[in-house]
Amino acid sequence: MEGVAADAVVVDLDGTVWDSAPWYEALAVASGNIPPQGLTAARLLKAVGFTHKRFSTACASGAPPLHVYPGITAALRRVSRYGVALGVVTNLPGWMAKPMLAAAGLAELLPQVVDYGATTRRKPNPDPLLEVCRRLGCRPQDAWYVGDSPDDAQAAIAAGMCFAWASWGYAPEAPVGAHRVLDRPEDIGGLLQERR
C-alpha cells in the first residue's frame, strides 16, 4: 500500500457511475407511459406512476437493467482493496439512489450514501461532501471527489477536497478548478498515488 495518499474516494452517481437518463426513459416506457420532457428524474418517475415501493421493486427486478459505465465497478473494487474508504454524494433522493446502487451491484461497495435529503443544503454547496467525510472518518483534504459536473467541482473545492473530473460523464469540458482529469473509469485508481 506504499504510495497511497488518499484516505477516501467519494463518487457522484449520475454521469459518473452510470448514465441513468436512458434507463429512466426505459422504465417509463415499460410502465406504458410516454416520459415527459424537462423533469428531474424523481419528478419524471412520479409523473409516470412510480411510487417509492414500485421503483424499488423495478430496480430489484433488473428489467430493464441499469448499466454502470464500463470499468467503474472494477476501479472501485481496486480502490477498496487498498483499504481506502468509499462513499457517494448525490443529489438523487435516497428512495432512488439506494435501490439503484443495489440494482447495479454496488450497494455493499458503496455503503455510505449522502443523498438529497441528508443535508439541508445540496451541491454545489459543500455540506454533503463535508457530511460524507464525517461519516467516513477522514479529513476533506485527504479525500478525492469524482464527479462530472461544475456543481460537483464547486462543492468539492468549497469543501477543501480534491476534485477529479469524470470526462466520460455529462459535462462537455472540465469544470474550472478540477485537480485531475480522468479519461476513463480505470484512472480512478491513479488518485491513490497523489493529492493536490
HSE (side-chain half, CA atoms, 13 Å) at 74:
7
Flag whether 147 is in a domain. Answer: yes
Flag whether 159 is in a domain. Answer: yes
- Report the CATH number that the domain containing residue 184 is assigned in CATH: 3.40.50.1000
Q: Is 82 found in the same domain as 33?
A: no
Q: Which domain holds residue 36?
A: 21-61
Residue with the larger pLDDT of the pair 27 and 173: 173
Residue 14 pLDDT class (50, 70, 90 cuts): very high
Q: Is 92 found in the same domain as 55?
A: no
* pTM for this model (two decimals): 0.93
- In which residue are the cell numbers 484516505 written? 7
- In which residue are the cell numbers 464527479 written? 147
- Integer Cα distance of 165 and 168 in angstroms: 9
What does the mean pLDDT of the chain come to? 92
Q: Is 188 found in the same domain as 107?
A: yes
Q: Is 45 found in the same domain as 122?
A: no
Q: Are 146 and 164 in contact (CB under 8 A)?
A: yes
Residue 195 pLDDT class (50, 70, 90 cuts): low
Flag whether 1 is in a domain. Answer: no
Q: Is 126 found in the same domain as 36?
A: no
